[in-house]
Amino acid sequence: MDELQTSNQSPPLVGIIMGSDSDLNIMQEAASILKEFDIPFELTIVSAHRTPLRMVEYATKAAERGLKAIIAGAGGAAHLPGMIASITTLPVIGVPIKSSNSIDGWDSVLSILQMPNGVPVATVALNAAKNAGIVAAQIIATSNEELSKKIKAYKKQLEKSVLDKAKNLSNDWLNKFDAE
């Protein structure tokens, strides 16, 4: 697959949608990690309740427009990811958001997570838009060796940062495990 380019002009491979602009402070973390992996994406507002026809149109056209995955975030009665998944054949990654109309965030989590058999939404943790971006990258990496290498390097970096922290701690705390 050679669709991955860094240019903003590249056709988007991932669609990031959210119920409201008030979700953007969370959802921009998905955009940031996709940028880090040089994956072209688009980002817009699609509301299941306030723009239902736009939602149907977005989901209906997503695959033919060349998207490979959709990241959908919403809060409260968070119906957007599930409704998008009910229409498209693309994988849908849901981001539950603790928003102004959430009770405690569980409302968003359960609205997105508890889908009926046959219509899955790959649900990440509350507010975990970054992880949603990583899942989307991993989906695209299954057919893109260059991207797969970038994700491996990212994971290696995660490992290194933890090992460095463990090393720093060992100056002040006993750690026989690393000494063995």
Q: Which stretches of the chain bind ligand RP5, using CB under 6 A? A: 18-20, 22-23, 47, 49, 74-76, 97, 99-101
CB of 131 to ligand RP5, least distance (A): 18
Query: Measured from the CB atom, is 110 or 166 closer to ligand RP5?
Result: 110
Q: Are 29 and 130 in contact (CB under 8 A)?
A: yes
Residue 41's DSSP bridge partners are 14
Query: Measured from the CB atom, is 13 or 18 closer to ligand RP5?
Result: 18
Query: Vertex 27, ends 52 and 94: CA angle to 5°?
Result: 60
Query: Measured from the CB atom, is 101 or 170 closer to ligand RP5?
Result: 101
CB of 47 to ligand RP5, least distance (A): 6
CB of 42 to ligand RP5, least distance (A): 18
Q: Which residues contact 92 (CB under 8 A, 6 or more apart)?
A: 69, 70, 71, 72, 81, 84, 85, 120, 121, 122
| Residue with the CB atom nearest ligand RP5 in the bound state | 19
Q: Which residues contact 38 (CB under 8 A, 6 or more apart)?
A: 4, 5, 6, 150
Query: Measured from the CB atom, is 67 or 83 closer to ligand RP5?
Result: 83
Q: How many CA atoms lie within 13 A of 103 on its CB side?
A: 7
CB of 100 to ligand RP5, least distance (A): 5
Q: What share of the chain is helix, strand, coil (3-state, %, to 5)?
A: 45, 15, 40
CB of 26 to ligand RP5, least distance (A): 9
Query: Measured from the CB atom, is 4 or 87 closer to ligand RP5?
Result: 87
Q: What are phi and psi of 37, to 5 degrees?
A: -90, 5
CB of 50 to ligand RP5, least distance (A): 7
* Closest alpha carbon to 109 in 137, 69, 70, 81: 81
